[in-house]
């Protein structure tokens, strides 16, 4: 199978669960300690061997483009003041990958957002990394999925078991084990009623799709919430026997909800070389007070 070289990062959602923070600042730009969420996601894709990235944005998300662009004035200032470490970081950011942007003109759902990538993707397999799902792992999760695509030649979804309370808000999958953490996926249902739950396995934040998904998306009618659901299109690949699942190794942070943002900041800070000692001492003192 060809190697996966392209990735799509949908980042055009309204982020209503993190309002008012996301009113004029895209939730994908909210920081985890010292980097915006979407930078972790781009770095994950690059570490997995992705060369071309398309970020789906919309009105008001121009700061995402600015973040990955050159900043001549800033770079000159850092050089003049001898801040060479920071200069290197800022320069590396604009050379991370070949990053392109396209606007989703209406916020019609994740399936519609991915559909905007049709011309960019062409006839190649491609990874999708949800712009508000940061997953920290030694072995980039995007790469874990790409390897399974390269082995089986089918679409691959990143899966995790969630709680019975969560599954009714997520997508429930019918899975059968293939080996260790690899499954075949034969069906899925978005936001299932309790008696329609297929399993507690759900898709979390990452997939690799074969390009036939675009023809399916073209035919996909609005589903849950009146939006074009990516999972409704993926379901067709699953029932046709063309989908695998990987119970990935990695810690996922949902940057689309407030608790997820706090957990990400807390846990990343506790591992950050400059901050971990001071932050840990601060937390240890703080917990004594409540
Ligand atoms: P979500 O459903 O979590 O994002 O989509 P949302 O719509 O912003 O969430 P609410 O408003 O808090 O409920 C997952 C990913 O898909 C993108 C989002 O930006 C997010 O990264 N997305 C979603 C799009 O690009 N376009 C859409 O129409 C919907």
Residues with CB under 6 A from ligand 1: 10-17, 56, 104, 107-110, 112-113, 130-132, 256
* Pocket mutation for ligand 1, best pick of 110, 130, 217, 253 (most atoms within 8 Å of C-beta): 110
For the cut 90, the answer to whether the pLDDT of residue 93 exceeds it is no
The pLDDT tens digits of the residues spanning 219-235 come to: 999 988 899 999 999 99
For the cut 90, the answer to whether the pLDDT of residue 71 exceeds it is no
Q: What is the pLDDT of residue 206?
A: 97
Residue 76 lies inside a defined structural domain of this protein: yes
Long-range contacts of 186-192 (CB under 8 A, 24+ apart): 186/238, 186/239, 186/241, 186/243, 187/235, 187/238, 187/239, 188/231, 188/234, 188/235, 188/238, 189/235, 190/223, 190/224, 190/229, 190/231, 190/232, 191/224, 192/167, 192/168
Q: Give the strand pairing for 243-247 and 155-161.
A: parallel
Residue 155 lies inside a defined structural domain of this protein: yes
Give the ligand 1 atom nearest the CA of 108: 28
Give the ligand 1 atom nearest the CA of 131: 21
Q: What is the pLDDT of residue 90?
A: 86
For residue 167, give the 3-state DSSP assignment: helix
Six-digit token string for 177: 């084990």
For the cut 90, the answer to whether the pLDDT of residue 60 exceeds it is no
For the cut 90, the answer to whether the pLDDT of residue 91 exceeds it is no
CA of 3 to the centre of ligand 1 (A): 28
Residue 1 lies inside a defined structural domain of this protein: no
Q: What is the pLDDT of residue 225?
A: 85
Q: What is the pLDDT of residue 59?
A: 85
Q: What is the pLDDT of residue 248?
A: 98
For the cut 90, the answer to whether the pLDDT of residue 70 exceeds it is no
- Are 22 and 134 contacting, i.e. CB atoms less than 8 angstroms apart? no
CA of 13 to the centre of ligand 1 (A): 3
Contacts (Cβ under 8 Å, ≥6 apart) of 117? 8, 54, 56, 102, 126
Q: State the residue range of the domain holding 212.
A: 6-287
Find, among 222, 255, 215, 220, the residue nearest to 108 by Cα.
222
CA of 109 to the centre of ligand 1 (A): 7
| Conformational region of residue 56, where left means phi above 0, alpha means psi within -120 to 50, and beta covers everything else | beta
pLDDT-based confidence at residue 187 (cuts at 50, 70, 90):
very high
CATH number for 232: 3.90.550.10
CB atoms near residue 153 (< 10 Å): 14
Q: What is the pLDDT of residue 94?
A: 82
Distances (CA, A) of 74 to 18, 98, 179, 202: 30, 21, 50, 43
> Which of 136 and 1 is assigned the larger pLDDT?
136
Q: What is the pLDDT of residue 96?
A: 85
Computed over every residue of the chain, the mean pLDDT equals: 95
Note the pTM of the prediction, 2 decimals: 0.95
Phi, psi for 163 (deg, rounded to 5): -80, 160
* Residue closest by Cα to atom 1 of ligand 1: 13
> Which of 95 and 247 is assigned the larger pLDDT?
247
Name the domain count of the chain. 1
Q: Rounded CA gap, 97 and 142, in Å?
A: 15
* Residue closest by Cα to atom 23 of ligand 1: 13
The pLDDT tens digits of the residues spanning 194-223 come to: 999 999 999 999 999 999 999 999 999 998
Residue 204 lies inside a defined structural domain of this protein: yes
Q: What is the pLDDT of residue 231?
A: 94
Range 41-56 average pLDDT: 97
CA of 114 to the centre of ligand 1 (A): 11
Residue 22 lies inside a defined structural domain of this protein: yes
Give the ligand 1 atom nearest the CA of 11: 19
Q: What is the pLDDT of residue 134?
A: 98
pLDDT-based confidence at residue 182 (cuts at 50, 70, 90):
very high
């Amino acid at each position: 199978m060809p190697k996966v070289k392209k990735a799509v990062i949908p980042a055009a959602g309204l982020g209503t669960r993190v309002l008012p923070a996301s009113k004029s600042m895209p939730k994908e730009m909210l920081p985890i300690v010292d980097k915006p969420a979407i930078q972790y996601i781009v770095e994950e894709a690059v570490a997995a061997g992705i060369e071309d990235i398309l970020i789906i944005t919309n009105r008001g998300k121009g700061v995402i483009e600015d973040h990955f662009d050159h900043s001549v004035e800033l770079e000159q200032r850092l050089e003049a003041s001898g801040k060479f470490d920071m200069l290197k970081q800022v320069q590396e950011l604009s050379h991370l990958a070949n990053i392109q942007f396209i606007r989703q003109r209406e916020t019609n759902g994740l399936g519609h957002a991915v559909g905007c990538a049709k011309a960019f993707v062409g006839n190649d397999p491609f990874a999708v990394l949800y712009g508000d799902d940061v997953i920290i792992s030694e072995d980039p999760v995007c790469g874990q999925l790409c390897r399974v695509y390269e082995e089986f030649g089918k679409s691959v979804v990143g899966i995790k078991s969630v709680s019975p309370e969560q599954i009714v808000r997520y997508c429930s999958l019918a899975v059968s084990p293939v080996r260790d953490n690899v499954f075949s996926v034969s069906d899925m249902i978005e936001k299932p009623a309790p008696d329609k739950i297929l399993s507690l396995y759900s898709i979390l934040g990452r997939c690799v799709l074969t390009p036939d998904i675009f023809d399916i998306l073209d035919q996909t009618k609005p589903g849950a919430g009146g939006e074009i659901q990516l999972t409704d299109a993926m379901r067709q690949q699953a029932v046709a026997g063309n989908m695998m699942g990987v119970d990935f190794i990695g810690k996922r942070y949902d940057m689309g909800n407030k608790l997820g943002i706090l957990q990400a900041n807390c846990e990343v800070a506790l591992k950050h070389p400059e901050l971990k000692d001071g932050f840990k001492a601060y937390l240890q003192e703080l917990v004594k007070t409540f």
